[in-house]
Chains A and B, each alone.
Chain A
Amino acid sequence: MENIRNFSIIAHIDHGKSTLADRLIQFTGVCNERNFQDQILDNMDIERERGITIKSNAISLPYHAHDGKDYILNLIDTPGHVDFSYEVSRSLASCEGVLLLIDAAQGVQAQTLANLYLALDHNLEIIPIINKIDLPSADVERVLEEIDSELGLDPFTHIKCSAKEGIGIEEILEAIVTRIPPPTGDTANPLAALIFDAKYDSFRGTIIHCRVFEGVVKSGDIIKFMYNGTTYKVEEVGHFLLTRAKRDKLFAGEVGYIIAGVKTVADVRTGDTITLQDRPCSKPLPGFKEVKPVVFASIYPIASDDYQDLADSLEKYKLNDASFIFEKDSSAALGQGFRCGFLGLLHLDIVQERLEREYDLSIILSVPSVRYRFTLKDKKIIYVDNPAHYPDPAEIDKGEEPYIRAAMMLPERYLGAVMKLCMEKRGLNSNMNYTSPGRVELSYEMPLAEVIYDFYDRFKSVTQGYGSFDYDIIDFRESNLVLMDILVNGEKVDALSQIVHRERARARALLACDRLKEEIPRQMFKIAIQGAIGAEIIARSTISAFRKDVIAKCYGGDISRKRKLLEKQKAGKKRMKMIGNVSIPQSAFLAVLKSDTD
């Protein structure tokens, strides 16, 4: 155990975690040059395409250190985006130390802080690393100051590196060996292994990723999940090299995988403790806070025939993403579909893209919503994340919406603009802190609904990309909520209904009316588009009818040609949704969904 080191690489998004992982992998020779590719641990297509990490990835690196001894360094690369911060906390639970990367040009950002706090919570050894020193805009002096003033870490402990150029890699490996403590634990104790991830493999079923804290596990053992007592027979244990590498046993202090005939990822609860059936440990390891979806939206197939395919695809998708939840939903306008819960907008975006790409589905997503809480007159409390389930307004005693605490870091020159934006987004209880000259840490309490609407895009634009943002959900607060409906020729388009703060209703309704007006093609009759709260019309727009559309000549030879044209148009129309006798193209739903204000 003395020669094992377990560590994660954590940082703000894009500060170079996966690239540093690449260099460590190459330096330790786990991967030969021929098989190497950039960000090698980002193995999902969507990660590679977008250049971001979505899931944590573990790999074991053999390292012969300057002290002459051989070590096994268990590395976990983590995602930087706030939607996936739960992945970071899980990874940290199986480590004794972290490499905290800071981009030499960007300096400390919101997730640098957020992730540092997570590491401190776990009492981990922290090695600050200033990355990207090769950049002409690198400002190491300033970053050192920030490490001191903003992170409260000793700047003398830092290592300078360029993950891209491979500078400082050996120094980092030595620091891992000398500064991060080896794991503790006793192989003689009863087994206690923490599940920190689970992936689905179509041949082997669920691959459980775990950190063994106490005891030993080997194939043939009967293991038990402590939270529900289910037992499985271990088929295989092993390490993560670039692929899974089978081993006889996993010992206390080690990170690896267990295959035990578990059918789906949903049968495994990350954060749970695995022990042996015949010699259980006395109490489970401290687990994780349950990840709860915070953004909800309905997904409908564009062609109702695709409903079953969509259902199957969601099942399959869920095999590998336990944080994604869904249940049946139906809309008068869009037919049968599913109500889904996501960790944030990026997560939503990724699920949508994967369904469309990997499963070749055309889908429509409804306007995303947060989960509201209503106290009814009879004192019953209900949670509503779907406008379709909005309670009868006459029955509502009190409506509440979730609030977050937003933590922002930005250059002082944008302070005015950001504060204005936060006020506009109903921000409260601001707190401001000059962390170093010219830099401000700003926090606000605001409704989550505002954040998922367009806050992030606007924040990026008012800070011209120099600001960073992180948030935590804090509590529910009372709010003047209404249900806003959109009507097309008098018929409600239920998929476009939204629960909103009363003050937002008119602006949202107007925007929706305008977007629909742009996207719905003119038809044979005038189309009235209205936004309404109950019977009260709060916004409207009109699409005039087209009035001339007929070919002049239609004799013998023209008929087939015309028919073919009409057949094409008919097929196009089939792909649209009919509401109130109006054909509405998918783009119209998407346009309303899209919340940017430009």
Chain B
Amino acid sequence: MKKEQAGLYIHIPFCLSKCGYCSFYSIKSINLIPEYIAALKKEIKYYRNIFSSFDTIYIGGGTPSLLSAVQIDDLISTLNKYFDIDRQAEITIEVNPGDVSLEYFQALRKLGINRLNIGVQSFDDKVLKFLGRRYSSKEAITSIEAARASGFDNLGIDLIYGVHGVNIKSWKNTLQKAVSFAPEHISCYQLSLDDRTPLYKKYSLNDWHLPDENTELKLFLTNSEELENAGYIHYEVSNFARLDKFKSRHNQKYWQHAPYLGLGPAAHSFLNNKRWWNKAAVKTYLNKIVQGKMPVEDTETLSAEQLQLEALFLGLRTQAGIDLKLYKTRHGIDLLADKETIIDVLIKNKLVELRNGFLYPTRAGMAIADSLALI
């Protein structure tokens, strides 16, 4: 049997300015980037005996498009030096519409990057401003066109819904606009507000509210229906792909408990039944690496029960659902026998379905996937 290949995530924790809703770990001191690249290269080397081969690479952030093509090249060649990178590997980079150009994209392609994820978020200038994004809808469109022109044939677009002042109708327009570029992949994320973010404060100051449960559901179903009508596969709660092969191979690893290595501050890694993560602080990260130490903040060893629970809630987020046979081999539990009555009720209530040995959520089931996991 072919050994399961791992996924690799590289975090680029820099942003030129902070978006109002963002609670990701990133900082503005881009002057640290060269030092940071050097540190990443060391961290890559640490793992040479723990991981051997990868078939997906995902460079995320933060804003990876703040790196020059040369810096990215440096990282990718280091990876190639220590690991076996599959020839068919999916190599993704996240980019910010404001930072990119045709030349940049062309350079990325030359480096072997074959998948692009553009953080468009909206095609409405008012919304972009509201969210604190630093580009216009026109620039967003230009960046998509440039990506196409440079030859990217696996393009993803991120959108945010549930923003104050956006009704169902204008949201549908945004979806249609996105579809008009025929991206291979679309992610629709519902806006959530961490109470430490500036946008949260703005909401409470103005007594605005996130959509109520009904509206939330309506928006969720709108995404699903509109995009499926446009030919997309709603393969995970927030993710849509034009064809099976355009599903994010890297992200699917997270939902399938596949092994992955995360590099950089705040990045999480998973192997067998262990998960570990780095501290969410660039300075600490750099210092540790300089001292020749691992920047790991903590490790958890998952109990059988925790693994089962994760497999349930991760699996039920996806259209494919849970492979019952695999679940039994991995966790020693016959889910159908164990939860027979409640699964029956869920089927009757059209929240899950059972076919070909898979237990998977319906569209309505996906909307409550977190609770489905508590059966």
Tally of A-B Cβ pairs under 8 angstroms: 99
Shortest beta-carbon distance, A490 to chain B, in Å?
11
Of A123-131, A476-484, A541-549, the one with at least 4 CB within 8 A of chain B: A541-549
Given contacts A546-B371, A548-B367, A556-B260, contact A563 B349 (CB under 8 A): no
Total count of chain B residues near the partner, CB < 8 A: 46
Across-interface contacts of B349 in A (CB, < 8 A): 524-526, 545
Question: Of B66-74, B126-134, B263-271, which stretch is located at the interface?
Answer: B263-271
Q: Is the CB of A559 within 8 A of B314?
A: yes
Interface hit among B31-39, B41-49, B305-313, B319-327: B305-313
Name the one of A546, A563, A573 contacting B368, with C-beta atoms under 8 angstroms. Answer: A546
The total of chain A residues at the interface (CB under 8 A) is 27
- Complex CA gap A547/B371 in Å reads 10
B252-266 vs A: 1/0 string, CB under 8 Å? Answer: 001100001010001
| In contact, A556 and B370 (Cβ under 8 angstroms) | no
**Chain A nearest Cβ from B242, distance in angstroms:** 21
Given A525-B345, A557-B277, A563 contacting B370 (CB threshold 8 A): no
**Identity of the chain A residue whose Cβ is nearest the Cβ of B348 in the assembled complex:** A525
Given contacts A525-B349, A581-B341, contact A550 B270 (CB under 8 A): no
Chain A residue numbers with a CB within 8 Å of B371 are: 523-524, 546, 549
Residue A552, interface by CB 8 Å: yes
A562 in contact with B313 given A546-B368, A550-B368, A552-B189 (CB within 8 Å): yes
Q: Is B148 in contact with chain A by the CB < 8 A criterion?
A: no
Contact A569 B374 (CB under 8 A): yes
**Would you call A553 and B189 a contact (CB within 8 A)?**
yes
List of A residues within 8 angstroms of B79 by Cβ: none
- Which of A523, A554, A581 has the largest count of B CB atoms less than 10 A from its CB? A554
A555 contacts B by Cβ under 8 Å: yes
Q: B368 touching A556 by the CB < 8 A rule?
A: no
Contacting residues, chain A, for B269 (C-beta < 8 A) = 556
Q: Tell me which residues across on chain B come within 8 A of A549, comparing CB atoms.
A: 367-371
B338 at the interface (CB under 8 A from A): no
How far apart sit A409 and B152, CA to CA, in the bound complex (Å)? 92
The listed residue (A552, A557, A563) touching B268 by CB distance below 8 A is A557
Cβ B268 vs Cβ A573 within 8 A:
no
Q: Which chain B positions have C-beta within 8 A of A523? A: 371
User: Which residue from B237, B342, B351, B364 sits with its C-beta under 8 Å from A554?
Assistant: B237
Q: Which residue of B213, B255, B262, B267 contacts A546 across the interface (Cβ within 8 Å)?
A: B213
B195 → chain A closest CB, angstroms: 15
Closest A residue, CB atoms, query B369:
A550
Q: Is B89 in contact with chain A by the CB < 8 A criterion?
A: no
Bound Cα distance from A401 to B246, whole angstroms: 74
Instruction: Known A548-B367, A550-B366, A556-B262; judge A563-B306 contact (CB<8 A).
Output: yes
Interface flag for A188 (CB, 8 Å): no
Verify if A504 is at the interface (C-beta below 8 Å from B): no
Q: Say yes or no for A551: interface residue by CB 8 A criterion.
A: yes
Which of chain A's residues have a CB closer than 8 A to the CB of B373?
566
Q: Is the CB of A559 within 8 A of B192?
A: no
CB A332 to nearest CB in B, in angstroms, measures 14
Question: Which residue of chain A has its CB nearest to the CB of B373?
Answer: A566
Contact B255 A550 (CB under 8 A): no
Is B372 at the interface (CB under 8 A from chain A)?
Answer: yes
Report the Cα distance A569→B370, complex, angstroms: 10
How does the 8 Å CB contact mask read for B349-368 relative to A, with 1 for contact and 0 for none? 10100000000000010111
Give A546 to B369 CA distance when docked, in angstroms: 12
Residue A567 CB within 8 A of the other chain: yes
C-alpha gap A523/B341 in the complex (Å)? 16
A185 to B50, CA, bound (A): 96
Q: How far is the CB of A579 from the nearest CB of chain B, in Å? A: 12
In chain A, positions 546-598 with a C-beta closer than 8 Å to chain B are 546-557, 559-560, 562-563, 566-567, 569-570, 573, 581
Q: A562 is contacted by which of B214, B262, B370 (Cβ under 8 Å)?
A: B370
The answer to whether A573 touches B374, judged by C-beta atoms less than 8 angstroms apart, is yes
Q: In the complex, which residues of chain B have a beta carbon less than 8 angstroms from the beta carbon of A550? A: 237, 317, 366-370
Against B, the Cβ 8 Å flags (1 = close, 0 = not) of A504-535 are: 00000000000000000001111000000000
Chain A, 8-48, CB within 8 A of any chain B CB: none
A562 to B311 alpha-carbon distance, docked (Å): 12
Which residues on the A side are within 8 Å of B342 (C-beta)?
581
Q: Would you call A566 and B190 a contact (CB within 8 A)?
A: no
CB nearest neighbor in B for A563:
B310
Determine which residue in A525, A550, A553 has the highest number of CB atoms from chain B within 10 A of its CB, and name it: A550
B346 within 8 A of A: yes
Whether A563 touches B267, Cβ cut-off 8 Å, given contacts A524-B368, A546-B368, A556-B262, is no
- Identify which of A525, A559, A581 contacts B351 (C-beta below 8 A): A525
Q: CA separation between A557 and B309, bound complex, in Å?
A: 16
A554 — which chain B residues lie within 8 A by C-beta? 237, 254-255, 314, 317
- Nearest CB of chain A from residue B201's CB, rounded to whole Å: 21
* Cα–Cα, bound, A556→B260 (Å): 8
Does B4 sit at the interface, judged by CB under 8 A? no
C-alpha spacing A557/B270, complex, angstroms: 10
Q: How far is the CB of A583 from chain B (nearest CB, A)?
A: 9
CA distance A523 to B213 in the complex (A): 14
Q: Is B251 an interface position by the 8 A CB rule?
A: yes
| A248 smallest CB distance to B (angstroms) | 67
Residues in chain A near residue B217, CB distance under 8 A: 547-548
A548 touches B313 (CB 8 A): no
Q: Name the B residues within 8 Å of A551 (CB-CB).
A: 192, 237, 370
Given A524-B349, A546-B213, A550-B317: A560 touches B309 (CB 8 Å cut-off): no
Q: Is the CB of A547 within 8 A of B374?
A: no
Max count, chain B CB within 10 A of own CB: residue among A523, A526, A546, A559: A559
Within 8 A of A (CB), among B97-150: none
Residues of A within 8 A of B309 (CB): 563, 566-567, 570
Return chain A residues, CB-CB under 8 Å to B341.
581
Give the Cβ gap from A48 to chain B, nearest Cβ, in Å: 43
Of the residues B267, B364, B366, B369, contact of A556 by C-beta under 8 Å:
B267
Q: Is there an interface contact between A548 and B237, defined as CB atoms closer than 8 Å? A: no
Q: A547-B217, A557-B268 are in contact. List 5 more A-B contacts (CB 8 A).
A: A524-B346, A525-B349, A548-B220, A549-B369, A563-B309
A-B complex: 6 closest residue pairs judged by Cβ atoms: A556-B268, A525-B349, A548-B217, A550-B369, A552-B189, A552-B190
6 A-B pairs with C-beta separation under 8 A: A546-B368, A549-B367, A549-B368, A553-B238, A557-B266, A566-B309
